[in-house]
Amino acid sequence: MKPKLQHIVLSFFILLAVLPATSRAQAPVDKNDEADKWWQAWADTNRDGSLDDQELQAWKNLEKERIDSNKDGQIDDNEKRLVWKLLPAPITTEQERKFDADESGWLDPDEARKLLFRRVEFIFETNGKGAIKTGLEEFYDSNQDGVIDLEEVKILREDLR
């Protein structure tokens, strides 16, 4: 092999070796990434906008002991969706704030339930075409079009039973 060709071949292999690591390191913030961060607002219990070690540890324990109900070590969509039944939900919209009866800044499970009941009524009033107004509803928008349609609302009604 000529030295020059050897050099090119070598560069090619170096590139191959480096490329996957580089694309991992520079992984863009895509939709899935954002969706993976759903829990951060729930875990930030002192609401200072960041997660300290104590909050992280507390959240990991909650995941393990309560949220991961089938105990497979993963939080799937079903488990994620039902967190409002287990823990106070962070308030993200004005609509949600109206249901914070004790003004704790969080929606306790019974407050969240009342909010979601009202949302179900709204979804039927608008024939499944009304826009989502609360963070909790987003878990039910499985096709992520910003609307809980009459199909998606079935799961929400199930969860409210």
What residue ranges bind Ca ion (CB under 5 A)? Answer: 44, 46, 48, 55, 68, 70, 72, 74, 141, 143, 145, 147
Task: Classify each residue of 16-39 as buried b or exposed e, where b means 16 or more C-beta atoms within 10 Å of its C-beta.
Answer: eeeeeeeeeeeeeeeeeeeeeeeb
Smallest gap from residue 83 Cβ to Ca ion (A): 12
Residue among 15 and 56 whose Cβ is closer to Ca ion: 56
Residue among 147 and 160 whose Cβ is closer to Ca ion: 147
Residue among 22 and 74 whose Cβ is closer to Ca ion: 74
Smallest gap from residue 68 Cβ to Ca ion (A): 4
DSSP result, 25-63: HT----HHHHHHTTTHHHH-TT-SSS--HHHHHHHHHHI
Instruction: Name the phi and psi angles at 78, rounded to 5.
Output: -65, -45
Smallest gap from residue 19 Cβ to Ca ion (A): 34
List the one residue out of 160, 159, 129 whose CA is nearest residue 146: 129
Residue among 107 and 132 whose Cβ is closer to Ca ion: 132
d(CA 93, CA 101): 15
